[in-house]
Copies of this chain bind each other. A is one copy, B any other.
Amino acid sequence: MSATISPLAPKTYPTLPAIEGVRLATAEAGIRYKNRTDVLLVTVEEGTAAAGVFTTSKCPSAPVDWCRAALKGGKARGLVVNSGNANAFTGKTGAQAVKLTAQIAAKALGCKPAEIVLASTGVIGEPLDATKFNGVLADCAARATGDAWLEAAKAIMTTDTYPKVATKTVKIDGVAVTINGIAKGAGMIAPDMATMLSFVFTDAPIAAGALKTLLKNAVNPSFNAITVDSDTSTSDTLILFATGAAKKRGCPKIISAGDKRLAAFSKALNALVMDLAHQVVKDGEGARHFVEITVDGAKSDASAKKIALSIANSPLVKTAIAGEDANWGRIVAAVGKAGEPADRDRLAISFGGIRVAHKGLRDPSYDEAQVSAYMKNEKIDIRVSLGLGKGKATVWTCDLTKEYVEINGDYRS
């Protein structure tokens, strides 16, 4: 963990209201860190629907394997998350540790191990001693309350410099429902999806199949459009839980993601997930600038996204932004290396709406002093117009600073 909080951190944290059917508690299990919480238990009431999306890594962690299997039925009763150890690349021992953790949690909650979902974040390759959860999870279950959201977000942090929380309240068919989300992530962040853990909870009664669709729609333009360092983790996990408790207050049960009564909910969920994704980038290791990159005029949306990510992942673009230098030449190079259709002589590039390049060369009217002043902002907007078609995409990243190297050169394996 870093001693200094990211300068891009939110100035205030919202207070997350309780969600009926969800209780949380954190504890110090002593996995790796000293004098801080490192385990989170969330209990969700019986009948809670759940859906998840996971890393595309070919070497996923043991908890990812477990969750994929456990969520096939679309149900869950509890979530255990630990920080300090990712339980990834730990072979059979890793699978055994996951199983033992699920058993300990299931016993504490009075449910089946298969109803427990899990996530681990931290060092890769070290065996996770799950016996440390003995007693700890039962104690958490006994203490769990509806308002420990910020504590929950803190317990799952690794190199994060601040906890990430978000909340929204909307109506489904006239009945108010709440969505709360927490996330962690600061390094090893790249689509698909960003290296991070995120857990979103709602009291809306939505079937698991619909949850899965809603989640995919929410993740694509958000967590799948952010990058800190182009490194995809073995452990990426985003799980959406719907307790359905709002049904008692007259909220209709929603079966399909296409149900028109979901419009406001769907919009709020997308915004909440986007908010969490942006918080992850703003806590990018060593980040000093939050960068939004929009590519338009591409042959297709997919092509635009590939080019936007090529720019976002370019170490030369990222170091230039760290140096507060509007180095559009490096953007041209990043467009060129993406391998997607691009015509050098049609390219236009702007920083914060100030066009610096146009039709394949420097914009003669551009005022260097104005652009230099703009580059001192915390938020930097870059737009690249290809002039070829209607494809468009936006992605977010942060700059690459000496602090990134410091954090990652010192973080012990």
Contacts and interface: CB of A to CB of B under 8 A. Distances in A.
Contact of A315 (B323, B325, B404): B404
A409 interface: yes
Interface string A295-321: 000000000000000000111100110
A168 interface: no
Contact of A319 (B330, B336, B409): B409
Interface stretch (A6-14, A123-131, A139-147, A240-248): A123-131
A328 B88 CA distance: 11
Contacts of A404: 315, 319, 405
Main SS of the interface on chain A? loop
A329 B230 contact: no
Given A229-B315, A362-B126, A401-B405, A57 B89 contact: no
Interface in A262-318: 313-316
A89 to B, nearest CB: 5
Contact of A232 (B55, B86, B337, B357): B337
Contacts of A190: 337
Interface size class of A (residues with CB under 8 A): 35 or more
Contacts of A124: 329-330, 332-333
Contacts of A93: 361
Pick from A230, A335, A347 the residue with the most CB of B within 10 Å.
A230
Interface stretch (A68-76, A197-205, A338-346): A338-346
A84 interface: no
A34 interface: no
A394 interface: no
A91 interface: yes
A231 B316 contact: yes
A413 B336 contact: no
Contact of A59 (B86, B332, B401, B411): B332
Nearest to A235: B333
A376 B323 CA distance: 30
A249 interface: no
B57 A88 contact: no
Given A58-B341, A86-B329, A231 B405 contact: no
A32 interface: no
Nearest to A122: B329
B58 A335 contact: yes
B326 A413 contact: yes
B56 A231 contact: no
A94 interface: yes
A360 interface: yes
Contacts of A401: 405, 409
Contacts of A187: 316
Nearest to A328: B125
A123 B327 CA distance: 9
**Which A-B residue pairs are the 9 nearest by beta carbons?**
A124-B329, A323-B409, A59-B336, A57-B336, A327-B413, A91-B361, A319-B408, A232-B337, A91-B360
Interface of A: 55-60, 86, 88-94, 123-127, 187-188, 190, 229-234, 313-316, 319-320, 322-323, 325-330, 332-342, 344-345, 347, 357, 359-362, 400-402, 404-406, 408-413
Given A58-B335, A125-B332, A125-B357, 8 more contacts: A55-B336, A57-B337, A58-B339, A59-B332, A90-B361, A230-B315, A320-B409, A322-B405
24 contacts: A56-B339, A58-B336, A58-B337, A58-B342, A59-B332, A89-B329, A91-B360, A92-B361, A124-B329, A125-B332, A125-B361, A126-B362, A188-B330, A230-B230, A230-B313, A231-B316, A232-B337, A234-B332, A315-B404, A320-B409, A323-B411, A326-B413, A402-B406, A405-B405
